[in-house]
Every structure is written in structure tokens, then in C-alpha cells.
Amino acid sequence: MDFQLNSKTQAQCSIHFFSKKGNKFHFCSCASPMAKSDIQKAKAKTDDKVSFGEVFFYRLPSGDSHQLLVGTGEGGNLSAEQLRQLTGFIYKRLQAEKVTSASLSLAAVPMKDKAHAVQALTEGFEMSAYRFETFKAKPMDYDLKLNFNTNATNAKLKKSMEEGKIVAEGVNLTRWLGDCPGNFMTPTQLAEEAKKSAKGTKMKVTVWDKARIAKEKMDSLIGVSNGSAEEPRFIIMEYKGAAASKKPICFVGKGLTFDCGGISIKPSAGMEEMKFDMCGGGAVIGAMATIARLKLKVNAIAFVPASENMPGPAANKPGDIRKARNGKSIEINNTDAEGRLILADALCYASEKKPAWIVDAATLTGAMVIALGNTHTGFYTRDNKMRDTMNKAADDCGEWVWQMPLTDYHTKDMVGFYADLTNLAPNRQAGSATAAAFLESFVEKGIPWVHCDVAGTAWHAGNRLEYAPKKGASGAMVRTFVQLAKNHK
């Protein structure tokens, strides 16, 4: 999409917000027959019946711009996230009506902070415009230009608009990485894409191959990758936006490009969704690219262990024992609990960098999906300051997160019989918490750490998020991670 800030622009359609109590719309008598049913519907509604996201479209004869009305519900001021949601409703209708240019009066946007409003609207529209068509012979021929009508065209508004676009492009990159099929988005390809995402920025990307990973004593990651014809990769992204003396913030993401379960193979129904098992790593790559493009004044590093989980002849077998980088041994009692295995080595390595904190994202457990569905990303931490930092970042950017409990009881469940640790808890209770407890044993004590289980939120979130695709990767946590970097002092 293309965005502009201008006092006057000729657009095919102008967009208006209307609410229960607010600006009563005067229906045009000149609307074409095409929109008649909509007009009838709208007229039948009294002002107090209009609901949030309800859209009316009036197609006017040539020369006049068409009118799109979107309901804001109760009226009054909206939150930035409500604006983002509204863009989803608006975009879909404009696309259906084949409108390619639209304008929106900034003064009439029901939000006081106009810079914030511009950012939220730009973000929302750009996210709504995402389509995954890489593998289609004929991509849809549709693009929308949007003008924010304002007399107060100033640097601050322009900066907000640009920032909104960059953040949304980060989200869309993460979605694209997730939507790509497993046969294309292999660990090698994921590493290539991480490199590409750094082009034109100050970010440095280093990629380790299987030999280097083995040399670095990441035997837990090696074990998972052994079942596959595809080599693993360890992706390192480094961005320096602050003084060298400042401790870096650190992201870690699960980059499991296809998870069939390995020898503990998954049932076939729905297995195709396991191409999304790299969405945590994808979110980390999208967030790092965004942090670098926004030139945030922070030092940030990221690690994405990338692997397939397949049942090839050299695959991990139930009962196998592997040793992670920090020397802890792990008995593998279920090869399908592989995310924690590849993250273990990455968390060890991240700890060695002595970061200010570590935040990881992983599509780690089915139990998370059962616990929170696709509304909230569940997060785990024992550090109350980090809990507040996470909650604030998510709140600031409009994403939903929910803290989950992590206690010594969960830790106890992950003590091994033949080795230091087991990758499988003795029962299915609190499966997402025991997974978090397992990860915790690879984070050096004293480093504030948060684990985000995005299993429920990383894809198919469109039933709640109007600006996300109904089917496909959502880009969950990219905005929160960027916000964490923005808020970091």
C-alpha cells in the first residue's frame, strides 16, 4: 500500500467514522442502484444501533467520490487497537468494491493523539493488505492508495506514518515466512531470508551450518536435525543502535521449519499446519528487521535455531540422551517435544552474551492452545519486573498477552531419570508450564527471562483480529518485541 499526508487529494472514496451518538450521516439521494440495499439497511438503523466495524458503502456517479462509513460503536474516543481493527473492516470492503484510492480526514478520526492515530491506521491498513500469493500463477491485481487529509502536515505525523508502515511490514514479513511451505522455507532458506531482511540496515547476520553447530557443542539441536535430509542452521542477528557499553537485549525464536514429530510421529490430520512451527523464529526475524529499519537506540541480538523434525534413519529415538551446550544431559522421551531441545542450546548461547534480558518466542505446546486459544499469547517469567515490562509493551502496541504460572513444581516434573533432565513431563498436566520449566534450566541464573508460547496465536487469528488473515500466519508478537526494544532504557 501507498500512504500520503496531504491537505487535498482526489480519491475515489472518502472514509468516515460514525457512532451511536455521534455524527449523524446524511444519506445521499444520488447513490447508484448498486448500493441501494446498503442504503436501505442503513436507513433502517437508528443511530443507536450501529455496531463497531459495520460498514456502509455508497457508490456515487462519476465525478463524486464514493462514501464509506464505518461504525465505531459507542462513539467517543477510540484506542489505537480499535483503529487498527477498523482498518480491517474498511480494507475488505474497499477491496470488494475495487476502490484503489481512498482518503480519510485526520481531524475526524476519533482519537486525540493524531500522530498515534496515523501510526495505528497505517499499521492496520498495511497489515490488512497482506496476501500470500508467492506460489500463485496469477496474483490478485489490487492495491490501495490512502491519503490522510490534514492541514497540519508536519514532520511528526510523517514520521508516525512511516513508522506504522515499517512495523506492519515487519509483521507481514513474519507472516510470509510462516506461510511459505516447508519444502521451500527450510532452515537454509530461513537463514537466507534473515540475511535478506538485514539489507540496507546496520544489522549483521551470521549463519552457522551443521558442522559449526556441532563444533559449538549444540548437541541438542544436532539431535533434532539428524532425522532430516535438511541441514540445521543457527541464525545470529546483531544490531547496534546504542553505545557499545550498553548491554544488549536478546531475542530467541524457535525456527522449526517442519514438525512431523520425528519418530514419535504426529497424526496426519492437520499436520500441514506444522509448517508454522517456525513462527517464533519468524517473529524474532521480523522484529529484528523492524528494529534495525527504525534505527532504534538499543543494542539487540537474536538467535534462531532452525531445523526440521523428521523421522529419518539417524533421527533421535525415544530414550536417546543428548548433551546441551551448558553440559546438561537430556533424555528424549518424546521426539515430538523437539522445540525445547533446539531452544535449549540457543538459550545457553544467549546467556553467554550477558544480555539485559532474554525474551523467547516458540510455538511450543499444544497445551498452550488449549489453555488460551488464539486470543492471548501466554508468557512465563519468574521476574516481576520483566512481567511488567512485557505487559506494558504488549499494552502499548495493542497485542494481548497473559502471564502463566511457572513454579518449582513444574521444574521438578522435568528432572530426568537416566539424565539430568527429561524433555517429557510425567503427565499431561500444565504441559505448557512444564515446557517453560525445561527451557528455564538453560537460562543462566540472574538473567531476566521471558518465554512466550505462541502456539495458539501464531496462525489463524483472523477470527479475532480483523487485520489478520483468516487463514495463515498472524505475525503475533512482532509488534510487542519491537515495542520492548522501543521501551528499553
Residues that bind ligand BES (CB under 6 A): 259, 277, 334, 336-339, 363-367, 369, 424, 431, 455
DSSP states of 369-405: HHHHTTT-EEEE-S-HHHHHHHHHHHHHHT--EEE--
Which span sits near Mn ion by CB under 5 A: 137-145, 173-181, 252-260, 348-356? 252-260
CB closer to Mn ion out of 238 and 308: 308
Distance, in Å, from the CA atom of 46 to the CA atom of 266, rounded to the nearest integer, reads 53
Largest Cα–Cα distance of the chain, in whole Å? 80
Query: Using CB under 5 A, which residues numbered 161 to 220 contact Zn ion?
Result: none
Asked whether position 308 contacts Zn ion by CB under 5 A, the answer is no
Angle at 65 between CA 62 and CA 69, to 5 degrees: 135
Nearest to 161 by CA among 5, 394, 294: 5
334 binds, among Mn ion, Zn ion, ligand BES, none (CB under 5 to 8 A by kind): ligand BES
- Sketch the per residue contact string, 311 through 350, with Mn ion: x for CB under 5 A, - otherwise: -------------------------x-x------------
Q: b or e along 99-132 (b: 16 or more beta carbons within 10 Å of the residue's beta carbon)?
A: bebbbbebeebbbeebbebbbbbbbbbbbbbbbb
DSSP assignment of 163-209, as one string? HHHHHHHHHHHHHHHHHS-TTTS-HHHHHHHHHHHTTTSS-EEEEE-
Q: How far is CA 367 from CA 79, 218, 293, in A?
A: 32, 27, 35
Report the alpha-carbon distance of residue 165 to residue 1 in Å, rounded: 9
Name the residue nearer to ligand BES (CB basis): 136 or 470. Answer: 470
Distance between CA 457 and CA 400 in Å, rounded? 10
Smallest distance from Zn ion to CB 196, Å: 25
* Residue 182 or 398 with smaller CB distance to Mn ion: 182
Answer with the entry of ligand BES, Mn ion, Zn ion, none that 455 interacts with (C-beta below 5 to 8 A by kind).
ligand BES
Q: How far is the CB of 259 from Mn ion (least distance, A)?
A: 4
Candidates 253, 262, 339, 448: give the one binding Zn ion (CB under 5 A): 339
Tell me, by CB under 5 A, how many residues bind Mn ion. 3
Among 81, 169, 238, 277, binds Zn ion (CB under 5 A): 277
Residue of closest CB approach to Zn ion: 259
Strand order in the sheet with 13-18: 2-6, 145-149, 101-105, 13-18, 66-71, 55-58
Q: Looking at beta carbons only, is 101 or 365 nearer to Zn ion? A: 365
475: left (phi over 0), alpha (psi -120 to 50) or beta: left
By CB under 5 A, residue 308 contacts Mn ion: no
Residue 33 identity (one-letter amino acid): P
Sign of the four-CA dihedral 241, 245, 251, 257: positive
Report in angstroms how near the CB of residue 54 gets to ligand BES at its nearest. 33
Answer with the entry of Mn ion, Zn ion, ligand BES, none that 369 interacts with (C-beta below 5 to 8 A by kind): ligand BES
Does position 259 interact with Mn ion (CB under 5 A)? The reply is: yes
Task: Between 59 and 410, name the residue whose CB sits nearer to ligand BES.
Answer: 410
Enumerate the active-site residues.
266, 340
Q: What residue 365 binds from ligand BES, Zn ion, Mn ion, none (CB within 5 to 8 A, per partner kind)?
A: ligand BES
CB of 479 to Mn ion, least distance (A): 26
Phi and psi dihedrals of 402, rounded to 5?
-145, 125
Task: Point out which residues bind Zn ion (CB under 5 A).
Answer: 256, 259, 277, 339
Task: Point out which residues bind Mn ion (CB under 5 A).
Answer: 259, 336, 338
